[in-house]
Structure 1
């Protein structure tokens, strides 16, 4: 371990720094909730695909549920990866698409209880890809999801929306419905390029549609400390966005695709793995920041 000069003089070790360059902290176990709801709604957004949005939605939802929070996750991507990742059937069942179009009026009819206590999901399938075409002529089309979620908000402590990799009407709906935005960012140069555009989109939504929305944080994902590229990208992100970058960093591991194939959160598939510990740390950090009750 390296020491700085003051640490050497005092005979004390310098604080151990994490990947973000800040001293490593262990966030305290959060208090037990005395009641539930209304939910804080968080959209997980990034117009670039493959950056860990779905993985984070599944595992953050599961770890918050472990901590006694009632969690609803919304599959808002026509690929339906969130539904598959939790082992949920998506055909011949009510989905978020039916709620957006109004063919199903009550969101409770589309909510599926997963195999994990306190964790529910509203699934999606390929039908959702037609939603933007159907909604384009609707009055107040940007607020349709917000109106849907308002009906069940009191039943949950947090609602996580897994957005598709685009900045189209569905993502604008998710941002308009949300109180906060979490941006998973792969530690790779081309992923970094699009963050400024996403932040600009969030600002436009804040200015025109949802003045309450705020950036809850940028989450570095797929980090590999062995590569200079990962370290340089993370340094650049922290330099640009400062304290908006969460202290928790999600490393790259083959356990994530293995867990997806098993239809289980990493916290159930490999509970002692470093990736499980990282997502538990993320849940505690977000609670400590006030992003989640």
Structure 2
């Protein structure tokens, strides 16, 4: 489960594929940025059709050169209430994933920035949570509240997450505030070994539907996401 940072989900998914892993990405965010980064055209079927309309999950998966994708679209904004009214709504995605015909080494779920029925569905399917956090003061309040809420939900719903990791992003070691926030994150949270530094190439993601590795295999983000991929592979005990 990647908590809302589509460039991280995209780069992690593509990087795992480069390591010969079979990867499925699920876009659970109504803003559907991960879908935009990956696909040229708006797909007919999306995650909404699986979770609300009971479409077969295998019919919704789109094969891309980098990974398999279950896309999202803006219809998901309206699906909250429709899904909430269903029996055992928080386990809908979990039930769907059990019907997958193909085996995957990794399934990454890109979640919306706010906690809702979709995020809870993702929690039920996840073993780890990865929360990208920009190294800015404003990001800290939101991060602490998010982790408290995630812990509370896990306790109330008896969800077993092995680890919750924070991934520091947009790190600029020349800026004093970035260094201070990074230090605070390391002292107060379970931070990944790898941090993602500021890299202008990430702004180009989505233009030609390339991965960060194709855009520039030697840029900072490429090298650091590749290291993150190696770290994530070690989580797969």
TM-score, reference length from structure 2: 0.94
Counterparts in 2 of 1:94-113, with a 5 A limit? 94-104=45-55, 106-113=56-63
Which SS does the other structure have where 2:194 is aligned?
Answer: strand
Contact 2:93 2:122 in 1 (8 A): yes
Contact 1:88 1:123 in 2 (8 A): no
- Considering Cα pairs closer than 8 Å and 6+ residues apart, tell me whether 1 or 2 has the greater RCO: 1
The runs of at least 4 aligned residues of structure 1 exceeding 3 Å deviation read none
CA distances 1:105-135 after superposition (whole Å, capped 9, x unpaired): x11100001122xx11000111111111211
Which SS does the other structure have where 1:196 is aligned?
Answer: helix
CA distances 1:164-219 after superposition (whole Å, capped 9, x unpaired): 11011211111122111001011011111112222122222322334321324110
Is residue 58 from structure 1 mapped to residue 10 from structure 2 by the alignment?
yes
Residue aligning to 2:177: 229
In the TM superposition, what is the alpha-carbon distance from 1:73 to its structure 2 partner?
Answer: 0.4
TM-score, reference length from structure 1: 0.77
Residue-pair matches, total: 237
Counterparts in 2 of 1:113-262, with a 5 A limit? 113-116=63-66, 119-152=67-100, 155-241=103-189, 244-262=190-208
Residue aligning to 1:278: 224
Contact 1:176 1:209 in 2 (8 A): no
In the TM superposition, what is the alpha-carbon distance from 1:227 to its structure 2 partner?
Answer: 0.6
In the TM superposition, what is the alpha-carbon distance from 1:250 to its structure 2 partner?
Answer: 0.5
Residue aligning to 1:87: 39
CA distances 1:56-105 after superposition (whole Å, capped 9, x unpaired): 000000011100110000011111110111125334x111000001341x
CA distances 1:45-65 after superposition (whole Å, capped 9, x unpaired): 15xxxxxx1000000000111
Unaligned 5+ runs, structure 2: none
- Return the index of the structure with the highest Cα Rg: 1
Question: What is the distance in 2 between the residues matched to 1:230 and 1:153?
Answer: 45
Which SS does the other structure have where 2:206 is aligned?
Answer: helix
Which SS does the other structure have where 1:44 is aligned?
Answer: coil
Residue aligning to 2:2: 44
Residue aligning to 1:4: none
Output the aligned Cα RMSD.
1.6
More helix by share: 2
Contact 1:90 1:124 in 2 (8 A): no
Contact 2:32 2:74 in 1 (8 A): yes
Question: What is the distance in 2 between the residues matched to 1:205 and 1:155?
Answer: 29
